[in-house]
Structure 1
């Protein structure tokens, strides 16, 4: 089975949603109890909020 990379959402709630959907799709494809092999990285929204408060523009998508 191949491994996928996931850049999580800006909040934990959105990251959970992505993770849940990917695992459900994989389970539907391969049958229970299979899950997705994932390497996941997510943003710390606190760091982003602090940069925004300082007026430091950041771009998450190039």
Structure 2
């Protein structure tokens, strides 16, 4: 499920992969729908925890 950043300008998606493939967090510009960044690496095994603290604390959902 996608999640917005604090400003509401980016949407963050978790991409889960199998053990043989690389998982990632994909960041997309909300207005243009263009790719901003793909966050990968050994630490992104199960890409959870991207939760926007501001949205959670302020019960934005």
| Both structures adopt the same fold (TM-score exceeding 0.5) | no
So what's the TM-score if we normalise by structure 1? 0.24
Larger relative strand fraction: 2
Higher relative contact order (CA 8 A, sep 6+): 1
